[in-house]
Structure 1
């Protein structure tokens, strides 16, 4: 039994003018290979990327000062990846996303406690998450326990671990 490729649908040329390859794949329930073959057989040009208009270019420049790439993309009806690529190509630096993991206020070294210094040394040495938490593991800046990887440890246990690893005398 031979496996013959599916024939070119009668309405393919008309549909291909208004859809991109992914949309054609979904519409005809066909593989990428089949869609490429049909495009070649029909001699049509599928929908390509839409270039930015002058208004959109100006808007990206203006919005980049106060909005993230995701917000700009939503506003313009484009994908966030498209906005990121446009910004990189044109030297535009949009407002960074407010990820709490990356934008925590920097603690001054003079105000950091001995425990905080031990925790940062341990995190750098073992390359795992080390942070203050409550007894049930919820992150808390004023917590009296320490989350070390996935284990909740007391201050004494962390000090002992730092001594064993040679991080403190």
Structure 2
């Protein structure tokens, strides 16, 4: 029984091996992986490393000093791996994306006169670090708890260092708010809980309350609506 002769390397194999990967050659010639490897040894054809590496653009070094990683990726239509290789080979440092600073929101100055640093962070849904920056930009200082309680906004919402009897709201809701301030800071706000001078609601313990709700909260904690009549008498 005669042995089967091995298939010889195609005449164009050496040239094709310069442009095709091993897997592509197997598919192109309809041969096995072992056969392609044998042809390489017989012909001395070099193994193709895959897709040719993209050269570093001439302006990459200059652009990398002023553009962010994302900008470079979009500008050159290159992957992260390609950019990383260019960065290493060119010896440049890619800039991080510069995020625009969020300015202090409207009403922050007034809110900062009656709220603690932690309360401000919770109220505006930001970090304490951002609150610190806003305080520096507005020239204010974070209040201590004693200061905050002394400057609690009463019914009309006017910040003050101490209670001024003539300006106090002696309505039922106003007196209920005065009563609750001993337990936690309370101030006027809008229906969404945002600080507002002379607002229609009261912000207490992280929630906006209507006048009826603030009265109910106070009564549950011992507030006596008619006590002032007995004192006046």
TM-score by length of 2: 0.34
TM-score by length of 1: 0.42
